[in-house]
């Protein structure tokens, strides 16, 4: 094998690939099963955006907190939430991460530092400011990462959180996952500033834009930003320009896209293809090793789906369980 020129060791590269592949297969399976009518509620798929969640989460540990969005499956998987518990949650089963009462948009696992997907746009940002304040007060070098789409970046909660994080110098990273569309509205129609870096600058923090389809670009930039936050350097904004392979929600006819747009981005901007070609071409990882991971991931998703479908629904008496939590 050739000398490894990458900023991660071979095991870490394989882990990154496995995470991205797991997210992709998870979402592809949901795409198929949702169309069959098997899944309650709405699902918003992260397929195409895997490099962003994975490149960032590779720098975190369970002590670090993240606050996610309505499109949260990828963040959950990359943060280490159990895939079986996630699938059961999405199927509304009592074995789910939230005992089947949350569904796709409310998957949480505090033991993994995952404070929850969130059906309310922009609601993760204030949560993560609180978590980051706690980490700062405790002095445990924990960081908080919040994700927001280009649409939700206009929410008052998000803008207030940028201000709060700046004035309190909180260890927060605001990640704008810019996939170009707020539901169906293209960014240039809806975002007053022309660049998210300008927006960060206005709040007195640095902002960086990276190609969110390049795992290494995200990994490298996120590493520097997270290290800075951990060391007390304060908040920063990271804009990842990326693409989503499916609609805003499952069932979205995507009439707002240009003809051929989806085919073009799938052909040229698939972050999984970009990563695997890079590591195989460098001679660090064999294609057979990636294919072995693909088979294991397929088996995992198949098993998680089978188990979720076989699991019981919550009982009526579960309705009032976990409504209040004592700290």
Partner 1 sequence: MAPVVGIVANPVSARDIRRVVANATSLQIADRANILLRVLAALRACGVRDVLMMPENGGIRAHVERGLMRARGNGASGGQDIYPALHTVSMPVTGTVADTHRATAEMRRAGVSALVVLGGDGTHRAVAAECGTVPIAGISTGTNNAFPEHREPTITGLATGLAVTGRVPPHIAFAANKRIDVSLDSGATGATVTEMALVDVALVTERYIGARALWRTENFRELYVTFADPEVIGMSAIAGLLEPVGRDESGGLMVRLSPNGDGAGDCRRGITTLNAPIAPGMMARVGVTDWRRMPASVAFVPEVTAGSVALDGERELSFSERDRLSLTLRDDAFRTVNVAAVMRHAGQNRLLTGTPVPVAAAF
CB closer to partner 1, 27 vs 239:
239
H helix or E strand, kind and range, residue 210:
strand 207-211
Helices 83-90 + 10-35 axis angle, to 10: 20
Tokens coding 76: 């959950």
**Cβ density class 229-247: b for 16+ within 10 Å, e for less:** beeeebbbbbbbbbbbbbb
Assess contact for 44 and 76: CB atoms under 8 A.
no
Q: Smallest distance, Å, CB 309 to partner 1? A: 41
CB closer to partner 1, 208 vs 311:
208
CB closer to partner 1, 150 vs 250:
150
Assess contact for 96 and 102: CB atoms under 8 A.
yes
Reference 51, options 20, 21, 9; nearest CA is 20
CB closer to partner 1, 13 vs 85:
13
CB closer to partner 1, 55 vs 92:
55
Q: Smallest distance, Å, CB 60 to partner 1? A: 17
How many whole angstroms separate alpha carbon 234 and alpha carbon 205? 8
CB closer to partner 1, 117 vs 226:
226
At residue 177's C-alpha, the angle toward residues 171 and 178, to 5°, is 135
Q: Smallest distance, Å, CB 206 to partner 1? A: 4
CB closer to partner 1, 27 vs 49:
49
Q: Give φ, ψ of 203 to 5 degrees.
A: -100, 5
Reference 159, options 142, 176, 171, 135; nearest CA is 176
Q: Smallest distance, Å, CB 204 to partner 1? A: 11
Tokens coding 234: 């304060």
Q: Smallest distance, Å, CB 283 to partner 1? A: 7
Q: Smallest distance, Å, CB 57 to partner 1? A: 17
Q: Smallest distance, Å, CB 289 to partner 1? A: 18
Burial of 24 (0-12, 13-18, 19+ CB in 10 A): buried
Assess contact for 44 and 38: CB atoms under 8 A.
no
Which positions touch partner 1 (CB under 8 A)? 2-3, 5-7, 188, 193-195, 197-198, 200-201, 206-210, 214, 216-217, 219-221, 224-225, 228, 236, 239, 278, 281-283
Q: Smallest distance, Å, CB 200 to partner 1? A: 8
| C-beta atoms surrounding 277 within 10 Å | 12
At residue 292's C-alpha, the angle toward residues 289 and 298, to 5°, is 145
CB closer to partner 1, 55 vs 72:
55
């Amino acid at each position: 094998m050739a000398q490894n020129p990458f900023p991660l060791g071979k095991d870490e590269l394989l882990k990154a690939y496995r995470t991205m592949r797991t997210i992709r297969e998870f979402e592809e399976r949901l795409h198929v099963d949702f169309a069959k009518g098997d899944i309650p509620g709405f699902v918003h798929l992260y397929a195409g955006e895997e490099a962003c969640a994975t490149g960032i989460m590779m720098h975190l540990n369970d002590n670090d907190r993240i606050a996610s969005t309505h499109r949260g499956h990828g963040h959950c998987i990359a943060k280490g939430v159990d895939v079986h518990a996630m699938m059961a949650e999405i199927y509304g089963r009592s074995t789910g991460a939230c005992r089947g009462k949350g569904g796709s948009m409310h998957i949480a696992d505090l033991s993994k530092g995952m404070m929850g997907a969130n059906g309310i746009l922009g609601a993760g940002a204030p949560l993560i400011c609180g978590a980051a304040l706690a980490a700062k007060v405790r002095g445990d070098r924990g960081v908080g990462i919040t994700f927001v789409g280009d649409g939700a970046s206009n929410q008052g909660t998000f803008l207030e959180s940028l201000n709060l994080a700046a004035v309190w110098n909180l260890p927060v990273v605001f990640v704008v996952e810019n996939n170009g569309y707020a539901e169906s509205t293209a960014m240039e129609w809806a975002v007053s500033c022309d660049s998210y870096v300008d927006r960060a600058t206005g709040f007195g923090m640095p902002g960086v834009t990276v190609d969110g389809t390049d795992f290494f670009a995200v990994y490298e930039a996120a590493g520097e930003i997270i290290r800075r936050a951990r060391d007390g350097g304060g908040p920063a904004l990271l804009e990842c320009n990326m693409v989503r392979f499916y609609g805003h929600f499952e069932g979205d006819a995507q009439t707002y896209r240009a003809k051929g747009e989806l085919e073009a981005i799938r052909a040229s901007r698939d972050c999984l293809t970009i990563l695997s070609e890079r590591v195989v071409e460098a001679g660090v990882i064999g294609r057979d090793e990636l294919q072995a991971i693909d088979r294991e991931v397929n088996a995992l998703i198949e098993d998680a789906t089978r188990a979720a479908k076989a699991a019981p629904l919550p009982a009526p008496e579960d309705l009032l369980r976990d409504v209040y939590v004592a700290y």
